Structure 1
Amino acid sequence: MHAVVVGGGIGGLGAAAGLHRVGWQVTVLEQAPDFGDVGAGISLWPNALRCLDELGVDLGDPLAAQRDGGFRDRRGHRITRWDSAAFERLHGRPLGAIHRRDLITALKNAVPADSLRTGAKVTEVREDGLVRFDGGEINADLVIAADGIRSGVRRTLFPRHPEPVYAGSAAFRGIARRPGTELSTSFDRGVEVGVLPLTGDDVYWWISYLTEPGRNPGRPDFGAWHDPIPALLDATPPEALLHHDLYHLGTPLPAYTRGRIALLGDAAHAMPPFLGQGGCQALEDAVVLANAMSTKDVAKGLRAYDDERRPRSQKVARESVRMGKLGPQLTNPVATTLRTAALKMLPAKATVRMGAGITGWRPPRLPRSAPPRTP
Structure 2
Amino acid sequence: MTPTDRRRAIVIGAGLGGLAVAAALHRRGWTVGLYEKSAVPGAGGAGLAIAPNALRALDTFGAGDTVRSLAALSGDGGLRRPDGRFLVRTSAEAVRARFTDQMVVLERSRLAGILRDAASDVPLHAGTAATVIETGDGRRPAVVHTATGAEEAELVVAADGIGSAARAAMFPEHPGLTSTGWTTWRFVIDSAVPVQPGETWGAAGLVGLVPLAGTRTYVYAAANAPRGGRAVDERAELLRRFGSWHAPIPQLVESVAATEVLRNDIAELAAPLPAFHRGRVVLLGDAAHPMGPFLGQGACQAIEDAVVLAHVVESERGLDAYTAARQPRTSDIVRRSHRMGALALLRIPLLRALRDTALSVAGHASPDTAIRQLISVVDWWPPTEAPR
Return the TM-score normalized by structure 1.
Answer: 0.93
State yes or no: 1:27 paired with 2:44.
Answer: no
Size of the aligned set, in residue pairs, is: 362
State yes or no: 1:91 paired with 2:105.
Answer: no
Partner residue of 1:55? 61
Partner residue of 2:377? 358
Cα distance between partner residues in 1 of 2:73 and 2:148: 42
Partner residue of 2:290? 270
Structure 2 counterpart of 1:147, which letter?
Answer: D
Gaps of 5+ in 2: 1-6, 137-141
Partner residue of 1:289? 309
Cα distance between partner residues in 2 of 1:37 and 1:354: 32
State yes or no: 1:316 paired with 2:333.
Answer: yes
SS in 2 for 1:85: helix
Cα distance between partner residues in 2 of 1:51 and 1:36: 20
Out of 276-285 and 53-62, give the one that drifted further: 53-62
SS in 1 for 2:67: coil
Identity level (%): 37
Partner residue of 1:165? 178
Partner residue of 1:200? 214
Out of 138-147 and 113-122, give the one that drifted further: 113-122
What is the Cα deviation at residue 137 of structure 1? 3.0
What is the Cα deviation at residue 113 of structure 1? 4.2
The answer on whether the counterparts of 1:2 and 1:142 sit within 8 Å (CA) in structure 2 is: yes
Change (3 A) 1:37 1:313: farther
Change (3 A) 1:168 1:158: same
Cα distance between partner residues in 2 of 1:136 and 1:82: 54
Cα distance between partner residues in 1 of 2:311 and 2:18: 15
Partner residue of 1:146? 159
Cα distance between partner residues in 2 of 1:35 and 1:67: 35
Cα distance between partner residues in 2 of 1:125 and 1:325: 39
Partner residue of 1:348? 367
Cα distance between partner residues in 2 of 1:111 and 1:13: 7
Partner residue of 2:108? 100
The answer on whether the counterparts of 1:190 and 1:330 sit within 8 Å (CA) in structure 2 is: no
The aligned runs of 1:298-317 (5 Å cut-off) are: 300-317=317-334
Change (3 A) 1:145 1:114: closer
Cα distance between partner residues in 1 of 2:331 and 2:370: 24
Gaps of 5+ in 1: 367-375
SS in 2 for 1:35: coil
What is the Cα deviation at residue 85 of structure 1? 1.8
Residue 10 of structure 1, aligned match among 16, 33, 38? 16
Residue 145 of structure 2, aligned match among 132, 140, 149? 132
SS in 2 for 1:64: coil
The answer on whether the counterparts of 2:49 and 2:106 sit within 8 Å (CA) in structure 1 is: yes
Change (3 A) 1:325 1:229: same
Kindly indicate whether structure 1 or structure 2 has the higher relative contact order, using CA contacts under 8 Å at least 6 residues apart. Answer: 1
Partner residue of 2:42? 36
Cα distance between partner residues in 2 of 1:37 and 1:338: 42
The answer on whether the counterparts of 1:66 and 1:95 sit within 8 Å (CA) in structure 2 is: no
What is the Cα deviation at residue 77 of structure 1? 1.4
The answer on whether the counterparts of 1:270 and 1:317 sit within 8 Å (CA) in structure 2 is: yes
Structure 2 counterpart of 1:206, which letter?
Answer: Y
| Deviation by residue 1:242-296 (Cα, 9 ceiling, x = unmatched) | 1111111131001001010011000000011111111111111011001112xx3
State yes or no: 1:256 paired with 2:272.
Answer: no
